Amino acid sequence: MVDPKAELRRIFDAGVAAADPYAAVSRHLGDVAPPALIVAIGKAASLMAKAAMARFPGVRTIVITNYENAAAIRGSEVFAAGHPVPDDNGAAAARAVIGALRSADGPVLALISGGGSALVPAPAGCLTLAQKAQVNDLLLGSGLPIDRMNLIRQQLSELKGGGFLRHASPQPVTALILSDVVGDDLSVIASGPTMPPIGTSGEAMALLHRANLWDRVPQPVRDHLMAATDPVPLPPARNILVGSNSQSVAAMLMAAPDASVIRAPVEGDVRDAAVLICDQATHGVTLWGGETTVVLNGTGRGGRNQELALRIAREASLRGWKSWACLQAGSDGRDGPTDAAGAIVDQGTLARIAAAGGDLDMLLRNNDSHAALDRSGDLLVTGATGTNVADLGVLIRDD
């Protein structure tokens, strides 16, 4: 008899494999003009850069990725930087990128993947990195969807929202983009360094007011937004999507051809998402992709995938499901500020938490999903995968 947890992992791994950055980039390089500069930014930057360097050897290459995915690449300049909170190493990487773009003497090839928004913080105007990091912390706990967070981030950056193109001008830019964003809006991925901005400074201010964050962001940020003027038109760029969440869900379906698929991306608050998933889950295998949000009310550790998995476990218990198992995880192998990608929960999860002395309601109120799942032994630790196409979920129900 097949082990349900092993089967969940097999299907999930098929989705991650479909987002392999090296293969995704390699498939599209035949139609790219030889560049004078290659810049790879994001959690998948290392493998994307290796693919481009294999096709265009000897070209100056700058790679900026998170610490977990960073490794020396012969012939390139590699920067390891902080994610999800920007740090000084990321600021140094951003300065190196801006300098390289300004001095480029030919076409630029940009390789963009998820995580790039935090990895190359280039504060606009007189803003400091500490002020940008403070805003980022507030946004991560706000419950705002990723596109709204990035609209605000773009207004505070020299590289986001098309800033990459301004610094590269007059050189032409081609961008190969691996999407970690539901819906694959290229202006949202890594905050759109090679795309027009999502919105305006006025819209950013309105969002901060609606999220009750305006009075909590630093005064220089408020001053910068209030003084901002409409930017001049961007230079043109060629932007090409090379991998996405929907493609990974399709690959999971190939690995489990009899599965049903939740066709609409699973988004919104994890509380609502857990109900939606259980509503649509059929007997057998159910698959989905997406990216949920968590409103932070406590001081615990965890991430949206871990909390969603816990809430699915509680919802399944309320419905009286007897035999089931569910994997919910980030395709990048990292969920929030933890070592886990997500979790594999089943009909025994809640009992194991209680037996280990955990109070599930209290743990959830404190956003302490990591501690809860550590008690039940249900954390999924994959290590960094080298890619990032948002989140993937698989549920097997036998009863």
Task: For 19-64, write each residue's pLDDT tens digit.
Answer: 999 999 999 999 999 999 999 999 999 999 999 999 999 999 999 9
129 vs 52, 98, 197, CA distance in Å? 31, 16, 21
Measured distance CA(78)–CA(71) in Å, rounded? 7
Q: Cα-Cα-Cα-Cα dihedral of 348, 351, 357, 361, to 10°?
A: 100
For residue range 231-251, list pLDDT tens digits in order: 778 888 999 999 999 999 999
pTM of the entire predicted model = 0.82
Let me know the angle formed at the C-alpha of 101 by 183 and 137, rounded to the nearest 5 degrees.
Answer: 50
Tokens, residue 214: 């305006």
Element (H, E) at 65: strand 60-66
Cis bond upstream, residue 233 (ω within 30):
no
Measured distance CA(105)–CA(36) in Å, rounded? 6
Tokens, residue 217: 């962001």
> What percentage of the chain exceeds 90 in pLDDT?
86
Which residues are CB-contacts of 357 (< 8 A; sequence separation ≥ 6)? 375
For residue range 247-290, list pLDDT tens digits in order: 999 999 999 999 999 999 999 999 999 999 999 999 999 999 99
Measured distance CA(374)–CA(49) in Å, rounded? 36
Q: What are 270-274's contacts with CB under 8 Å, separation 24+?
A: 270/294, 270/304, 270/307, 270/308, 270/311, 271/311, 273/308, 273/311, 274/308, 274/311, 274/312, 274/314, 274/315
- Whether 81 and 89 have beta carbons less than 8 Å apart is answered as yes
pLDDT averaged over every residue in the chain? 94
Element (H, E) at 257: none
Measured distance CA(194)–CA(299) in Å, rounded? 36
Tokens, residue 169: 């001008």
64 vs 36, 68, 78, 96, 334, CA distance in Å? 18, 12, 6, 10, 17
Which amino acid is it at 335? D
Sign of CA dihedral 129, 115, 81, 143: positive
Q: Supply the pLDDT for residue 1.
A: 55
Q: Supply the pLDDT for residue 350.
A: 98
Element (H, E) at 15: helix 4-18
Which amino acid is it at 381? V
Sign of CA dihedral 113, 116, 117, 122: negative
For residue range 82-92, list pLDDT tens digits in order: 988 889 999 99
- Whether 391 and 329 have beta carbons less than 8 Å apart is answered as yes
For 234, which DSSP code?
Answer: P
Q: Supply the pLDDT for residue 353.
A: 98
For residue range 124-172, list pLDDT tens digits in order: 999 999 998 899 889 988 888 878 988 998 999 999 999 999 999 999 9
Burial 365-399 (b: 16+ CB within 10 A, else e): ebbbbbbbbbbbebbbebebbbbbbbbbbbbbbee
Measured distance CA(137)–CA(84) in Å, rounded? 9
What is the pairing mode between strands 342-346 and 324-330? antiparallel
